[in-house]
A = this chain, B = another copy of it.
Amino acid sequence: MNIFEESKVLDSHLSSESTTIELSCLESSYPFSTVQQLSRTTPEYSSSPIPNFDRCNSQLNEKNTLMSASEQSSVVQPLLTDLYQISMAYAYWKGNKHTEMATFDLYFRKNPFGGEYTLFAGLEECLKFIRDYKFDPSDILYLRSVLPDYVEAEFFDYLLNLNMNDIKLYAVPEGTVVFPRIPLIRVEGPIFHTQLLETTLLNLVNFASLVATNAARFRQAAPAQKVLLEFGLRRAQGPDGGLSASKYCYLGGFDGTSNVLAGKLYDIPIKGTHAHAYVSSYESMDDLNERNLRDRISREVRPFADLCLQYLNEVGKILNILPDETNKGELAAFASYAIAFPTNLLALVDTYDVLKSGLPNFLAVARALHECNYKAIGLRLDSGDLAYLSLEVRKRFIETGQKFGLPYFNDFQIVASNDINEDTLISLAKQGNSIDTFGIGTHLVTCQKQAALGCVYKLVELAGIPRIKISQDVEKVTIPGRKNLYRVYGHDGKALCDLLTKFDEPVPQKGVKILSRHPFSDQRRAYVTPSSVTSLYKLYWADGEIKEPLPALKQIREYATDQLLHLRTDIVRDLNPTPYKVSLTNDLFNFMHELWIRSVPIGELN
């Protein structure tokens, strides 16, 4: 069983080579056995009145996963839309056109960040929005107050009783690598209903896909062994902007977040130790109210503060610095943190001076922890030249480890933060550095390089008749009609192109040459002979229910990672990547261009 279990593998005569690549890609990602079903009920977890502290973590995590599926931001509701959707709904209703069956495509026109790929995300949120679609009586009251007096009471009754049971939603699976102009979501149903969904679906897909793609690009920019943590909550665009960023950065390949609520709701690993304020909160070793630590093994009480001071002298000799000159408030802060979390010391070392104060203080406390049979984790740099400092710090780890006869000191983790972006990661990788983990905030979560993805939602068919939207900007012209979408693979198992067909065209076949056409340009054509073909759409919503099991976030993350691994490297690279081809069949091309020319008025020269 795999993600495409219900979409046909269109040719069973695949070459063994491409089959292997394709199936291994898919099987590793969405194992059916752990897939969850969305539930309409309130999660048991959040309704539990008293915490049961005896529950083991694995139970808890299971509950979290269920919870993540049914939590939704309270502002995602039918009124979270543009006024004109409601105005149009009324005009359709008034013109007795509201039950006509419509098809809308949701897609974008350009990959973000100057790249040539995008990760599709936000689908689960869209499905929950559709499932729970219901106007509140207070919404109707409000609408009545803002629409003209002549809008009939029957219209408001119609709104009040509205649900989305009559619509169908097709989509590519969440986490799929997608490209400009391919419809990510196709919505079919009465135009009244389908029109009302536009703004909210766009809102839910746009940022989710943008930030997931951003995270994937950061991931590509850093060597695979580096750990990437999302630390952006405080700078994100609002509370939910922060929560969404944590969720979709994880989807895009990050390893964890500092955001505790994201950890609770989405079962994402959470990380973090202490801030500058913690360091500043100690002035001297006299501030330590608790000065002892029990030995991990013997449970004997040890004079930990004194051990720290004693080892600071030794560290000073090794590193040739004056122990008197390290900040003793900082030493006290590290010591107190180690007393609280003897298994978890990761010290922020740049409050005063990394090499002259923070590092020796950390090493002294780490050595004292060793004396009590604990091991420190490492340190964090949050300012200055991160590449240089990390290399200097590593040298001193090794030097101190050698002198103390403790080789594990060599491998203390170095975490770096401070305004890191994609370019910083690329530059750091080139310069050489000894950083193990990056904590990344602002640039990642707010997508500084490009703060919005331009998904649109366009009417392509109504009452069985294809519709086109022309514009003076050619790239804004829509591809009309209901369409199918196929990904065509070459003999090396890599995707050759995506192919849009008319809804009733035969599916592309293995070994059968197809003429593929650029959507807008007559001259740009190519033959393609597939080694295999997959159909990208699945039916996710129909008959008032979610039709597909929805994978957990972790599984979507694995699937997305896998999708990127199987994309041609020249498409993924950061500098001048090759555009991936999104083509039309010859039939669809001709059909589109006939409709286009029919819709454009002919002027008269004069």
A288 and B446 contact, CB distance less than 8 A: no
A91 and B340 contact, CB distance less than 8 A: yes
- Please name the residue on chain B nearest to A294 by beta carbon: B150
B191 and A281 contact, CB distance less than 8 A: yes
CA distance A75 to B202 in the complex (A): 21
A97 and B472 contact, CB distance less than 8 A: no
Set of chain B residues within 8 Å of A46, measured between Cβ atoms: 136, 138
Q: Which of A253-280 contact B (CB under 8 A)?
A: 258-261, 263-264, 270-280
Interface centre among A264, A270, A353, A602 (most CB of B within 10 A): A264
B327 and A462 contact, CB distance less than 8 A: no
- Please name the residue on chain B nearest to A382 by beta carbon: B471
A337 sits at the interface (CB 8 A): yes
CA distance A594 to B236 in the complex (A): 36
A91 and B238 contact, CB distance less than 8 A: no
B337 and A91 contact, CB distance less than 8 A: yes
A53 and B202 contact, CB distance less than 8 A: no
A153 and B452 contact, CB distance less than 8 A: no
A225 sits at the interface (CB 8 A): no
This protein's copies in its complex: 2
- Please name the residue on chain B nearest to A122 by beta carbon: B238
A146 sits at the interface (CB 8 A): yes
A280 and B91 contact, CB distance less than 8 A: no
Set of chain B residues within 8 Å of A457, measured between Cβ atoms: 277
- Please name the residue on chain B nearest to A468 by beta carbon: B280
- Map CB proximity to B onto A69-103 as digits: 1 under 8 Å, 0 otherwise: 00001111101111111111011101111001010
B462 and A280 contact, CB distance less than 8 A: yes
Set of chain B residues within 8 Å of A321, measured between Cβ atoms: 603-604
CA distance A244 to B236 in the complex (A): 12
Per a CB cutoff under 8 Å, which of B91, B322, B452 touches A341?
Answer: B91
Set of chain B residues within 8 Å of A156, measured between Cβ atoms: 53
> What are 9 sample pairs from A and B whose C-beta atoms fall under 8 A apart?
A53-B141, A73-B238, A95-B288, A97-B289, A191-B281, A203-B238, A277-B459, A320-B606, A352-B599
CA distance A470 to B141 in the complex (A): 56
Set of chain B residues within 8 Å of A453, measured between Cβ atoms: 235
Given contacts A274-B87, A471-B350, A603-B356, contact A236 B237 (CB under 8 A): yes
B476 and A383 contact, CB distance less than 8 A: yes
A278 and B447 contact, CB distance less than 8 A: no
A139 and B75 contact, CB distance less than 8 A: no
A104 sits at the interface (CB 8 A): yes
B45 and A75 contact, CB distance less than 8 A: no
CA distance A49 to B136 in the complex (A): 9
Set of chain B residues within 8 Å of A350, measured between Cβ atoms: 471-472
Per a CB cutoff under 8 Å, which of B57, B73, B448, B452 touches A239?
Answer: B73
Set of chain B residues within 8 Å of A143, measured between Cβ atoms: 260
A351 and B274 contact, CB distance less than 8 A: no
CA distance A104 to B207 in the complex (A): 33
Set of chain B residues within 8 Å of A111, measured between Cβ atoms: none
- Please name the residue on chain B nearest to A49 by beta carbon: B137
- Please name the residue on chain B nearest to A137 by beta carbon: B51
A231 sits at the interface (CB 8 A): yes
A258 and B83 contact, CB distance less than 8 A: yes
A236 and B258 contact, CB distance less than 8 A: no
CA distance A600 to B462 in the complex (A): 72
A299 sits at the interface (CB 8 A): no
A488 sits at the interface (CB 8 A): no
A534 sits at the interface (CB 8 A): no
Given contacts A81-B260, A281-B459, contact A289 B96 (CB under 8 A): yes
A48 sits at the interface (CB 8 A): yes
Set of chain B residues within 8 Å of A495, measured between Cβ atoms: none
Q: In the complex, what's the smallest C-beta–C-beta distance from A354 to chain B, in angstroms?
A: 7
- Map CB proximity to B onto A417-454 as digits: 1 under 8 Å, 0 otherwise: 00000000000000000000000001000111011111
Set of chain B residues within 8 Å of A16, measured between Cβ atoms: none
B48 and A137 contact, CB distance less than 8 A: yes
B277 and A353 contact, CB distance less than 8 A: no
A242 sits at the interface (CB 8 A): yes
Given contacts A94-B290, A138-B46, A336-B95, contact A272 B82 (CB under 8 A): yes
CA distance A49 to B138 in the complex (A): 8
A64 and B351 contact, CB distance less than 8 A: no
A82 and B141 contact, CB distance less than 8 A: no
CA distance A241 to B234 in the complex (A): 13
Given contacts A51-B140, A97-B336, list 11 more A-B pairs with CB under 8 A.
Answer: A48-B137, A61-B145, A84-B258, A97-B287, A203-B234, A207-B237, A235-B454, A237-B245, A321-B604, A322-B603, A357-B601
A467 sits at the interface (CB 8 A): yes
Set of chain B residues within 8 Å of A240, measured between Cβ atoms: 73, 75, 238-241
A458 sits at the interface (CB 8 A): yes
- Please name the residue on chain B nearest to A153 by beta carbon: B53
